[in-house]
Copies of this chain bind each other. A is one copy, B any other.
Amino acid sequence: MRLSTKGRYAVTAMLDLALNGQDGPVTLSDISENQGISLSYLEQLFAALRARKLVRGVRGPGGGYFLGRPADEISIADIICAVDEWVEFTRCRGKEDCRGGQRCLTHSLWDDLSRQIYDFLTDITLADLVARGLEKEQTCQGKKDSATLESRAA
């Protein structure tokens, strides 16, 4: 498993689709502006997402992107794996011999952990995130009553 800013970009972009894709397709330009990512980089990310059928593109004016499946059928792990090209699972299985046993043991422990994280993220869908977020009704600036999570330092 791997968790980088690239994966974050992909997840937030997909969230953007989940939130705004109800009425019509969302353009990459919109996402680019919303998320502060360059258009070309988004195109690269969406090429990977499209290859995994996580999004569907519509050309022409009024076009843009839709989610490829309902939001409750897209897990965070799906998204991250799509852009981060994760495999690299037990690398000492083939080329690296593990005669010593020690190296092999630590690697298999890591793979075990990696698998746990993967399973964890497989159980969380885009829909889950959106639902959990809406239920809190937290907008960044909002901060109504007692909470005051971060009070205007500057």
Segment 97-124 of A: residues with Cβ below 8 Å from B: 97-110, 112-113, 116-117, 120-121, 124
- How many residues does chain A have at the interface if contact means C-beta atoms less than 8 Å apart? 56
Query: Cβ of A101: which chain B residues have Cβ within 8 Å of it?
Result: 139-141, 149-151, 153
CB pair B113–A11 under 8 Å, yes or no, is yes
Decide if A2 is an interface residue (CB 8 Å cutoff): yes
B residues in contact with A12, CB < 8 Å: 106-107, 109-110
Cross-chain contact A107 with B140 (CB below 8 angstroms): yes
Q: Does A19 sit at the interface, judged by CB under 8 A? A: yes
Does A130 lie at the interface of the complex (its beta carbon under 8 Å from any beta carbon of B)? yes
A54 at the interface (CB under 8 A from B): no
**A42 an interface residue at 8 Å Cβ cutoff?**
no
Mark A residues whose CB is within 8 Å of B: 1-5, 8, 11-12, 15-16, 19-20, 34-36, 76, 90, 92-94, 96-110, 112-113, 116-117, 120-121, 124, 129-130, 132-133, 136, 138-141, 149-151, 153-154
30 contacts between A and B (CB under 8 A): A3-B3, A8-B110, A11-B110, A12-B106, A12-B109, A15-B105, A15-B109, A16-B102, A16-B106, A19-B106, A20-B102, A34-B100, A35-B103, A36-B96, A36-B103, A93-B140, A93-B150, A97-B141, A98-B140, A99-B141, A101-B149, A101-B151, A102-B153, A104-B140, A105-B139, A105-B149, A108-B138, A113-B124, A117-B117, A117-B121
